[in-house]
Structure formats: structure tokens, C-alpha cells
Amino acid sequence: MSQMGKVYLVGAGPGDPDLLTVKALRLLKAADVVVYDRLVSAEILAMIPEKSKRWSVGKSAGRHCVPQDQINPLLYDLAKRYPSVVRLKGGDPFIFGRGSEEAEYLGQRRVAFEVVPGITAAAACTAYSGIPLTHRGMSRVVHIVTGHFRDDEPIDLDWERLTGPESTLVVYMGLSNIERIAEELMRAGMPGATPAAAIQNGTTPNHFCLASRLDRLALEVREAGLSAPVLLVFGEVVRMAEVMGDWFCPTTLTQALVGER
């Protein structure tokens, strides 16, 4: 292991470069090579020194630039050649970022690695939209799930567990399945009038939040032409966007929520 470099699994946050942690920025500035995902913003990539080599492994739904089973050995190979390898991931490495798979692969091959947490989209994109994940009298439980499964497997979630009162549901990568998600939630007992929101390009200059209700969200998202990355949020806390939504996002589109229970 002493002859190998070290791999840093670094969370880049959801897009706003000011949300990078101090440690993430320090490692980025010192990296010999940076392996980065599609969701890492251009502003953050601009912080990579010219001396550092760059390696894009960007992935998007339906189009895989570099499959995960090729990324893992790539990190191993780079660690044999460079002292400091930064694996830069959008959001947090361990929240739907497959960072744990990379850490497991490296650990099994005795490659030193370090995990640097990043601010995940569920926390940042909602905050920038004026939607608190928890709020007294509205939500004291937060569920975070993915709406997209490996190899395009069908969505198989415990829908009834996700529809409890005083809870917030956040769905990553759910845009392509938004109709199915809404149908399953209503079938499991979530009222159609439940406040819901879709947040596109959260925390970036193109941040856009469409706030609506469960039974109308899918249609309005399609009509608005939203495209990935989009975060879906369901729960009473979405009502707070009417109060706080404009603090960051001038393009917040809020449909009538209050009084439509």
C-alpha cells in the first residue's frame, strides 16, 4: 500500500461552488488527477488547477459515459500512478452516489482512501427553494429515496411507509418516473392535495422550483418542460415555499397550495 497513491471520495455538493467544504476545496487544489461526474458544476470544475489531470466519467439516465464497473478499476489504476486522486462526485458520495461501492472496491485492494462528505441535494436544493425538510407541526420525519433503479429495474418501494403524516418525502432521480411515483403515493393513501414540488438544477444560476400538489405535479412538470437533474419533494413543508421561496430563486413557480386540502 505504501507505493500506492490515495483516493479521496469527495462530495462536490449540488452545484453552487460556495457550498464546497473547505476540505473538499483544499484537496481539489492539491490533486494530481480529478475524476469527476456529470453533475459537478462548471464553476467547481474551473477550480481544478491547470496542473491537475482531468478525467470525466459523467453519467446520465439512459446514457452511461463510463459504466461503474469500469470506474472502479480506473480509480485503482490511477492510484498506482498518482499520489493524490480526487474522485469528485455531485452531492454527497454516500447518498445515491455509489461512493460506498468505490470505497469497497478500493479497500478490498488495499488502496488507501478517504471520504469527504458533501452537501446533498435533499438538504441544499430544498433550502434554496424555501422548503425546510422539517418544520414544527408539519414534518418530523424525512424519507430520502431514489426514483431510478439500477439497470432500469421497476420501482419497488414500501409506498405506504412513505406516506405517513408529518413526514417529508424526497425523491432523487425521479423525473422519468414521476407519473408512476405520484400514482403509487396516492394509491398508498397520500392525499392528492398534498403539497409537492419539483426542483430543477438546484442551487445553480438555473435553479427552478415548481411548487404544486401531488395530483397535478406530473402534468405541470411535463408542461413546464423540466429536465434532469430534478429533485421531487412531497409533504406539508412545501407550503413554506410561498413564504420563503424567493430568497434565492427568482424563477419559483408556485401554484395555489393553501386551502386546497
Contact 211, 252 (CB under 8 A): yes
Name residues whose C-beta falls within 8 Å of residue 82's C-beta, 6 or more positions apart in sequence.
5, 32, 33, 53
Name residues whose C-beta falls within 8 Å of residue 180's C-beta, 6 or more positions apart in sequence.
155
Q: Which residues is 89 bridged to in the sheet? A: 11
**Which of 37, 77, 156, 158 is labelled catalytic?**
37
**Reduced 3-state DSSP string for 26-85:** HHHHHCCEEEECCCCCHHHHCCCCCCCEEEECCEECCEECCCHHHHHHHHHHHHHHCCEE
How many Å apart are CA 249 and CA 228, to the nearest integer?
Answer: 18
Region label for 143, one of left (φ > 0), alpha (ψ between -120 and 50) or beta (otherwise): beta
Name residues whose C-beta falls within 8 Å of residue 152's C-beta, 6 or more positions apart in sequence.
none
For residue 31, the tally of other CB atoms under 10 A from its CB is 24
Give the residue carrying C-alpha cell 424555501: 130
**Which of 23, 53, 59, 246 is labelled catalytic?**
59
The verdict on whether 37 is a catalytic residue reads yes
Q: Which three cell numbers stand for residue 192?
A: 392528492
Q: Is 211 helix (H, G, I), strand (E, B) or coil?
A: strand
Q: Are strands 230-234 and 167-172 parallel, antiparallel or unpaired?
A: antiparallel
* Residues labelled as active-site residues: 37, 59
